[in-house]
Structure 1
Amino acid sequence: MTALIEATNLSKQFGGRGLFGLGGKPVRALCEVSLSVARGEAVGLVGESGSGKSTMGRVLLGLTPASGGSVRLDGTVIANLKGEAARGLRRRMQLVFQDPYSSLDPRRRVSAQIADGLLAHGLATRAEIPGRVATLLDQVGLPKAHADRYPHEFSGGQRQRIGIARALAVGPDFLVADEPVSALDVSVQAQVLALLADLRARLGLAMLFISHDLPVVRSLCDRVVVLYLGRVMEEGPAAAVFERPRHPYTRALLSAAPNIDPLRRRRRILLRGDPPSPANPPSGCVFRTRCAWAVAACADAVPALDVAGPGHRVACIRVDDPELAPDTQPDGHQ
């Protein structure tokens, strides 16, 4: 499939000047990450807290400038766009926030907040706004009569639906959903996920779905990208990554996820220690200090993403080692 949004060797670092501009080491949030999302495709971005997931989403949207690499929308480098071209870009790329409670202004009616984008981009006159808002509320499963209410009058799930309606108001092609259901009850999560899946199918949206909840990602996404300390460890079709994960980090993440199949036993793989500081990452493979399969050679060079199957790539020098076959476990792990 042809990519709608494409990031190439994307890097982002913060700081590095220290107090009063002196000293201090830069914090590397992303390091040479390449990722693409085709029109109508949902790609899951997973990893522990601090792995760079939210930074990736913000850089793709142009909300945070990249330190290196490029982001293209339909082949156009977004950093090169200025003026009206940049305004058009913002309309095509939208964000659904994690927290439905703080993402809406409590002092403004819902109708006004949904209408902001329509007015800013000249997509509707003030006379047309009530009808457009009613249509958007219906699209996300809310009655049009709710348009004149304030955010405190809604539940968390309803607020997230309003946030989705606000993002859809300008007719985007690409949607970044940053942990959009993590603040919701489980039953409400399922409803919002079903809504996102339905909207993607009906509107042909490309979606980057950021989450630490692996079962949620599996239910919604076509492909999965696994980040650790700002680097891609594994990427591929969701079925391949979840059924036969090849990277030790992916396997550890999946072993910690809830197992809903009582007939399928899963051994827990415990990670060693805490994640290293992004200001002082390990040499070679950044995961090696916590990896049960690490060998001395893992410290020598950053592993390239090598092919492990159709559309499936893994950054591990031992990926073809029989000891790391998908059904094996490290010694001492249960």
Structure 2
Amino acid sequence: MTALVQAQGLARSFGGGWLHRPPVQALRGVDLTVARGEALGVVGESGSGKSTLGRLLLGLLPPSAGTVRFDGQDVGAASRAEWRRLRQRMQIVFQDPFGSLDPRRRVGPQILDGIAIHGLMPPAERGDRLAALLAQVGLDPAHAVRFPHEFSGGQRQRIGIARALATGPEFLVADEPVSALDVSIQAQVMALLADLRRQLGLALLFISHDLPVVRQLCDRVVVLYLGRVMEEGPAEAVFRAPAHPYTRALLSATPRLDPRRRLPRIPLPGEPPSPANPPSGCVFRTRCPQAAADCAAAVPALQPVGAAHRVACLRAAEAA
């Protein structure tokens, strides 16, 4: 598969400046590729930089360092006209299905906003497009005249998905799109995303803290901790044989219906360090059960531990 989205040396910090406070380093030195039609899962604890990464890839935030390329084009260097064309090809589904909709407007016009802004079709044809979009996400086209408060949480998220699909994007960022929904509704929305991805050939960046959901939906997985990539690889390889101590700890905390298949719980001591004052060397070393003195000396690079499977850990690299 050919690369659609590429990030190299991507970093983003917040704060500092005239406030004279140390900047918060949300993301540091991330290299990432999303292929056409691929689903890439991004997992990690709260504050690991998942949402920041998604917004950087979409150009919603400028990077402090590094570059993002979409279909070979440097997003940061795009002209205004080039950026408008790029915006049609990349969209986002937000976590909060109610907060992402304007409560004062009917849902139909909100779904069509992207088409109207970019002038993608004559106004006379937009009604048919709206009906097709609503049907595509499993909603009655007659509901286009309703307001957001008249829908359930799952229905509102379907509206958000329809709005994201309106411009015909090739790349979709789903930022924890099911975390605010009931479990039964989560499964329905996940099935919808999987079907749409297959039907439309979408490249999907799926951000989540729910590891079983990521395993079900995604081809590859990236594990973030304190703004750095700890492990990446094919989903089955990472879930079957996690190579980083942090990944193993995350998987051990995942509930499983079959008690015979549960991994021994790996407790992580303390709290994640402050992004404003991260540890030297490996950022995970202060909580790592395998940490040694050399872990504080240098940031470990991603090393291969299998086919397309890489890990940023000195101990794992030695074992490999």
Could you tell me whether the CA contact under 8 Å between 1:11 and 1:29 is conserved in 2? yes
In structure 1, distance between residues paired with 2:214 and 2:131: 30
Q: Of 207, 228, 233, which aligns to 1:210?
A: 207
Q: Of 286, 307, 310, which aligns to 2:307?
A: 310
Q: Please state if 1:72 is matched with 2:69.
A: yes
Equivalent in the alignment of 2:16: 16
In structure 2, distance between residues paired with 1:177 and 1:293: 34
Structure 2 matches for 1:265-280, cutoff 5 A?
Answer: 265-280=262-277
Structure 2 runs not aligned, ≥5 long? none
In structure 1, distance between residues paired with 2:151 and 2:165: 19
**Structure 1 vs Structure 2 CA RMSD:** 1.0
Amino acid at match of 2:7: A
- Which segment drifts farther, 63-72 or 313-322? 313-322
Equivalent in the alignment of 2:30: 33
Equivalent in the alignment of 2:171: 174
Structure 2 matches for 1:1-334, cutoff 5 A?
Answer: 1-17=1-17, 21-321=18-318
Secondary structure of the equivalent of 1:319?
A: helix
Secondary structure of the equivalent of 1:70?
A: strand
| CA-CA distance at 1:101 after TM superposition | 1.1
Could you tell me whether the CA contact under 8 Å between 1:52 and 1:228 is conserved in 2? yes
In structure 2, distance between residues paired with 1:31 and 1:22: 22
Structure 1 runs not aligned, ≥5 long? 326-334
Amino acid at match of 2:5: I
Secondary structure of the equivalent of 1:276?
A: coil
In structure 1, distance between residues paired with 2:124 and 2:113: 14
Amino acid at match of 2:31: S
For normalisation by structure 2, the TM-score amounts to 0.98
Could you tell me whether the CA contact under 8 Å between 1:9 and 1:34 is conserved in 2? yes
Amino acid at match of 2:41: G
For normalisation by structure 1, the TM-score amounts to 0.94
- Which segment drifts farther, 242-251 or 82-91? 82-91
| CA-CA distance at 1:83 after TM superposition | 1.8
| CA-CA distance at 1:134 after TM superposition | 0.2
In structure 1, distance between residues paired with 2:257 and 2:166: 37
Amino acid at match of 2:80: G
Secondary structure of the equivalent of 2:260?
A: coil
In structure 1, distance between residues paired with 2:261 and 2:19: 55
| CA-CA distance at 1:76 after TM superposition | 0.7
| CA-CA distance at 1:321 after TM superposition | 4.5
Amino acid at match of 1:236: G
| CA-CA distance at 1:22 after TM superposition | 4.8
Amino acid at match of 1:202: Q
Query: Structure 1 runs of 4+ off > 4 angstroms?
Result: none
In structure 2, distance between residues paired with 1:182 and 1:97: 10
In structure 2, distance between residues paired with 1:82 and 1:75: 15
CA distances 1:27-59 after superposition (whole Å, capped 9, x unpaired): 100100011111110000000000000000000
Could you tell me whether the CA contact under 8 Å between 1:259 and 1:266 is conserved in 2? no
Equivalent in the alignment of 1:329: none
- Number of residue-to-residue matches in the alignment: 320
In structure 1, distance between residues paired with 2:154 and 2:186: 8
In structure 2, distance between residues paired with 1:35 and 1:239: 19
Amino acid at match of 1:126: P
| CA-CA distance at 1:260 after TM superposition | 2.6
Amino acid at match of 1:103: S
In structure 1, distance between residues paired with 2:80 and 2:9: 26
Percent identity between the aligned chains?
70
Amino acid at match of 2:6: E
In structure 1, distance between residues paired with 2:224 and 2:114: 32
Could you tell me whether the CA contact under 8 Å between 2:311 and 2:317 is conserved in 1? no
